[in-house]
Amino acid sequence: MKIYYEKDVDAQVLADKTIAVIGYGSQGMAQSRNMADSGLNVVVGLREGGSSWQAAHDDGMKVMTIEDASKVADIIHILIPDEIQSAVFEQSIKPYLEEGNTLSFSHGYNIHFGYIKVPGNVNVTMIAPKGPGAMVRKTYLEGFGIPGLVAVEQDFTGNARDMALAMGKGCGLARAGILETTFQEETETDLFGEQAVLCGGVTELIKAGFKTLVDAGYQPEVAYFETCHELKLIVDLIYEKGFAGMWHDVSNTAEFGGLSRRSRIITSETQEEMARILKEIQEGKFAREWALENQAGNPMLKRMRDIESELQIEKKGSKLRKLCGLEK
């Protein structure tokens, strides 16, 4: 395992380079501002008149259309949603690519699954913060950073990794450490984590726990606190101290109950299903399903959003979060 820190990175490799950050969402805002504050020459490429155009202007960024940003850039860092990257690349970026340019990403999805096909005379790199944009910006301003990943898919110029690392340093990631990976590993593990654990797995576990208590006659408000609200406290302990530190900080009753019962919840069948989910990702089945969903206008996603919004735990949770001062 190779990890790069600030001392390992030569920022001068970007001294004469212009970086165009395409997109100004959570990651686009954070990464472009951090790199600009680090002294790198950054422009932001956006759809003229779009919702982010004025926000980027107000933040002091140099804003251009995506086409104009692509024309002037040596490095084009694409931070728009996965599902629109291919179309934007074909229409607004590819026509302006020049030999020796670098295409950069923070997620390998479109390169790994072949939805973006690049010529052989450019670099293809990744610099990916392992955290949301708000934390990328917050920790940078605090003088530290969050860890990141670096990968090189195509090295035409011979120094693609050096440039990607310098971008990571500009974002503040090298303060914490930048781990070397590949486009395949980053993409497949990221999708698996989202689907099986971080987004899909944990919300289904919360829903099931909440429903079990409510069906047994307990108050929904109490069920919400026990299965959802307090989850953050436990996750924070694990994040800061690992499993052992979390077990140390909870009660002995909680430790014994958790350790003795957890395998009855996450069973061998659950792990077998996780393996099937991973295989679907590896074989491209999920990517094809997501592509078709987007081509059809996202009917399944819209329906699932509607169902989610009507859940009892969502309605009760909104009221309780207001009581806790978490929502207005």
230 is in an annotated binding site: yes
Residue 315: pLDDT band with limits 50, 70, 90: confident
Q: What is the spatial order of strands in the sheet that 3-4 belongs to?
A: 3-4, 178-180, 148-154, 123-129, 102-105, 75-78, 18-22, 41-46, 62-65
Three-state DSSP string of 41-105: EEEEEECCCCCCHHHHHHCCCEEEEHHHHHHHCCEEEECCCHHHHHHHHHHHHHHHCCCCCEEEE
Same domain, 43 and 163: yes
* Residue 25 assigned as binding residue: yes
Residue 325 has pLDDT above 80, yes or no: no
Classify residue 90: in a domain, yes or no: yes
pLDDT at residue number 182: 97
CA 169 – CA 176 distance, rounded (Å)? 10
Read off the pLDDT band of 288 (50, 70, 90).
very high
- Reference 131, options 150, 108, 148; nearest CA is 148
Contact (Cβ atoms closer than 8 angstroms) between residue 32 and residue 42: yes
Query: How long is the chain?
Result: 328
Same domain, 89 and 58: yes
199 DSSP 8-state letter = T
Whether 297 is in a domain gets the answer: yes
Domain match, 196 and 173 both: no
Q: Tell me, what CATH number does 118's domain have?
A: 3.40.50.720
Q: In this structure, are 21 and 147 located in the same domain?
A: yes
- CA dist., res. 174 & res. 147, Å (int): 7
pLDDT tens, position by position, 230-254:
999 999 999 999 999 999 999 999 9
Residue 92 marked in a binding site: no
Pick from 152, 181, 210: which residue ends a domain? 181
In a domain, 125, yes or no: yes
204 is in an annotated binding site: no
Give me the chain's average pLDDT, please.
95
Q: Which residues are catalytic?
A: 107
* CB 226 within 8 Å of CB 212: no
Residue 201 resides in a domain:
yes
Q: Are residues 7 and 83 in the same domain?
A: yes
Judge whether 162 is annotated as a binding position. no
Q: Could you tell me if 86 and 150 lie in one domain? A: yes
pLDDT given at position 304: 96
Give yes or no: residues 217 and 103 share one domain. no
Assess whether 213 and 150 both reside in one domain: no
Supply the pLDDT for residue 328.
72
The first and second tokens of residue 166, run together, are: 């310098």
State percent of the chain over pLDDT 70. Answer: 100
Binding site annotation covers 106? no
Is there a domain that residue 186 lies in?
Answer: no
Residues 123 and 223 in one domain: no
Domain boundaries, position 308: 191-323
227 secondary structure, DSSP code: I
Of the three residues 181, 208, 234, the one that is the final residue of a domain is 181
Same domain, 141 and 111: yes
Q: Of the candidates 127, 151, 181, which is a domain's last residue?
A: 181
Count of structural domains within the chain: 2
Is 328 among the domain residues? no
Same domain for 102 and 227, yes or no, is: no
What are the tens digits of pLDDT across the range 120-152? 999 999 999 999 999 999 999 999 999 999 999
273 is in an annotated binding site: no
Please tell me the number of Cα atoms within 13 Å of 277 on its side-chain side: 17
Q: Are residues 152 and 275 in the same domain?
A: no
Identify the burial level of 290 via C-beta atoms within 10 angstroms of its C-beta, where 0-12 means exposed, 13-18 middle and 19 or more buried: middle
190 marked among binding-site residues: yes
